[in-house]
Structure 1
Amino acid sequence: MQKNSMKNMRINGEVQRELSNIIRSEVKDPRIAPMTSVVAVEVAPDLKTCKAYISVFGDEEAQNNTIKGLNSAEGYIRHALAKSINLRNTPEIRFILDQSIEYGVNMSKKIDEVIGQEES
């Protein structure tokens, strides 16, 4: 199976949807920030591993605590994922902090500052 085949893309979307539901409604770790979202998921073609890109609204401490909380709850999340999705193998999940939204906001602020300085 190719990395970007239709089957793999469909599995990525389904795993992303279910991970979002599990993190939002089932995981009760207080370290996980309430404004946590699953931005993207990449499941390996052999269904053994999965990279979940997580975006957290908050400061750096909240982001680090959320990743630590998700890593400690990985076994439970994997078990819940196995119950909700019927796959041959339930992938081992690696949570990766995605800071692209924060980067975009910072770049937008810098562009606004430069435009404001040129107008002055």
Structure 2
Amino acid sequence: MATSRRVSRVAELIKREVSQMLLHDIKDDRVGAGMVSVTDVDVSGDLQHAKVFVSIYGTDEARAETMAGLKSATGYVRSELGQRVRLRRTPEIVFQEDRSIERGNRVISLINQLNQNRQIDDAVAIEEVDEFDDE
């Protein structure tokens, strides 16, 4: 088992290298269908498996197409990592879609709606109080 510090360093290194591959090296047109960014990498304690979390901006169709392209490029990504990163064994790579950014945006928009509704309710309440005072 590798130390937690080593696991996190390897995860950061994989994140950086896969991000570079997405920008410059992966030629599959499906990967370019949506805007893709690597949000996180989770490496197992024995450094044998790595989950690469990607955020994809675009329609549902573009997301599905991009994930299919990433799944087909997994072998290429692993072999490139083996050349770029010096490890005894290159970890198995699995791409997973990360929708946390979308969920965060949805929560923020819901909070904003609640704040707007609260401001409207407060304004109505103030008007009612003013009307009551006028009587």
TM-score with structure 1 length normalisation?
A: 0.92
**For each residue in 1:57-87, what CA deviation from the matched residue of structure 2 results, as whole angstroms up to 9, or x when unmatched?**
1122221111110000111111111111111
Per the alignment, residue 105 of structure 1 pairs with 105
Alignment of 1:1-120 (within 5 A): 1=1, 5-33=4-32, 35-120=35-120
Q: Could you list the runs of 4 or more consecutive aligned residues of structure 1 that deviate by over 4 angstroms after TM superposition? A: none
What RMSD over aligned residues (CA atoms) do the two structures have, in Å? 1.4
Structure having the higher Rg = 2
Give the number of the structure with larger relative contact order, counting CA–CA contacts within 8 Å between residues 6 or more apart: 1
Count of residue pairs brought into register by the alignment = 119
The CA distance in 2 between the partners of 1:58 and 1:106, in whole Å, is: 15
Partner SS, residue 88 of structure 2: coil
The separation in 2 between residues aligned to 1:113 and 1:46, in whole angstroms, is: 46
Structure 1: distance between partners of 2:61 and 2:109: 22
Moved more, 58-67 or 91-100: 58-67
Q: Percent of pairs identical after alignment?
A: 36
Unaligned runs of 5+ in 1: none
Structure richer in helix, relative to its length: 2
Q: TM-score, normalised by structure 2?
A: 0.82
Mean Cα deviation higher: 99-108 or 56-65:
56-65
Any stretches of 5+ residues in structure 2 without a counterpart? 121-135
* Aligned-partner Cα distance in 2 for 1:15–1:95: 12
